[in-house]
Every structure is written in structure tokens, then in C-alpha cells.
Amino acid sequence: MALSGGIRRRTYANPYGARVDAMSSDTRTDHPGAFLTDVETLRRLAKAHIEQGVVTDTYEGDVSRTIEILQAVLATEIVCVLRYTQHSIMATGLASESVRAEFAEHARQEQEHAMAVAARINQLGGAPDFNPATLTGRSASEYQTGADLVDMIRENLIAERIAVDHYRELVRYFGDTDPVTRVMLEKILSVEEEHASDLQDLMATHRHRPAAS
């Protein structure tokens, strides 16, 4: 379509899903989006390394390091699933019904985290490591059973506090170099903070009660 200045303008779909206007004349530098890589270059680069999936030339992170970090995160989440599941079964007694329900809910959410992290590893070209033989060595959190209800709550609170610290650090680490991984970790972090808060409340409620049998 011809514009008033006689410049032809075409609209392209760019790799980020937004639409970018590009001019067919040499006046691109006058365009507000001129600092962006031109679409022809983006298309050429995307086609040149098509086997690398989402890892394009504009990925600013270190892909192998990102995968390595996410493998540790995956192990941490799987250990959390296992610990919460075991606790949800072992927490017995009248006073523990609400705690069991909370543990089971946390186990389900940790499973969602594990799946999101595994999917991201796969997107980046890695194979998510679910090997049970090396799981605890790769995990930031520990698989601790508890002698009683308060013990279990305490162990989970410790694990959640470790997770919160770990994820905050990782969110800062990824910054703008891998925004998709960072946003995923921010979402997980907000749930881990809720978990820590839930456990703190449970601890306050059950600390002075007799241990469940």
C-alpha cells in the first residue's frame, strides 16, 4: 500500500509473535523500530539453525549452563513431590487432617513445577533427567521424613525456605538473558513463598499440640 510520502510499507509477523512494520525503502532508520534486527536477518538466522528449536541467535544466555541449572531445579522439585507425598500419607491423627490435605496439595503443585521445568529443558534442546539413582545428589532440597507432625511441618518449611532463596537467586541470575526461564521461575517462586507461608501458619497452629500418633 502506498503511503503519503511515497514509501511502501509492509507488515511482517516477526519471531516474537508481534507484528512489525518494515519499509521497503532505505529510510528504515527513520522508523521508531529501527533498533530492532530487520526481519530478513531474523528469518535468515532462524532458518540457518532450525534444528536448535527455540535457541536462536538472539538467545543471550549460556544454553548448556541453563540446562544444567534447570536439571538441578527439576531434581529439587521431584524430591519435594516425593517428600510431600510421603508426609501426606504418614501424617495421621485427628489434628492432622488439614495438614495432610495441605501436604497433598503442595505435592501436586511441586509436580506442576517439575513438569514446567522439564518442558523448558526440552525446549532448550536438553533431555530432562528423571534418573532416581542420582536425584538427591542433584537436588537443593533434602528428602527428610519426620518423626511426627511438627517434625514434618518443620522439614517442609526448611525445604521451602531453601527453595525460595534458590529461586530468588536464579531469577536474578537469568535477568534479561533468558526472560522465558526467568518468568517461569518467578511463577514457581511465588508458589514456593505461599508454601512457606502455609507451613509457617501450620507450625504456629501445631507446635504446642501433642505429637500425632
CB of 198 to Fe ion, least distance (A): 9
Binding flag, residue 110, Fe ion (CB under 5 A) = yes
Which string of x and - marks every residue 76-95 that binds Fe ion (by CB under 5 A)? -x------------------
Binding flag, residue 155, Fe ion (CB under 5 A) = no
CB of 159 to Fe ion, least distance (A): 7
Closest CA to 138 of 203, 75, 54: 75
Binding flag, residue 166, Fe ion (CB under 5 A) = no
Locus of grid cell 518442558: 119
Report CA 18 to chain centroid distance, whole Å. 24
Nearer to Fe ion, 66 or 141 (CB): 141
Binding flag, residue 102, Fe ion (CB under 5 A) = no
DSSP H or E segment with residue 21:
strand 19-23
Q: Count of CB atoms within 10 A of residue 14's CB? A: 17
For Fe ion (CB under 5 A), the number of binding residues is 5
From 85-93, 96-104, 107-115, 142-150, give the range in contact with Fe ion by CB under 5 A: 107-115
Percent helix, strand and coil across the chain, each to the nearest 5: 65, 5, 30
Q: Would you give the DSSP letter of residue 67?
A: H
Binding flag, residue 195, Fe ion (CB under 5 A) = yes
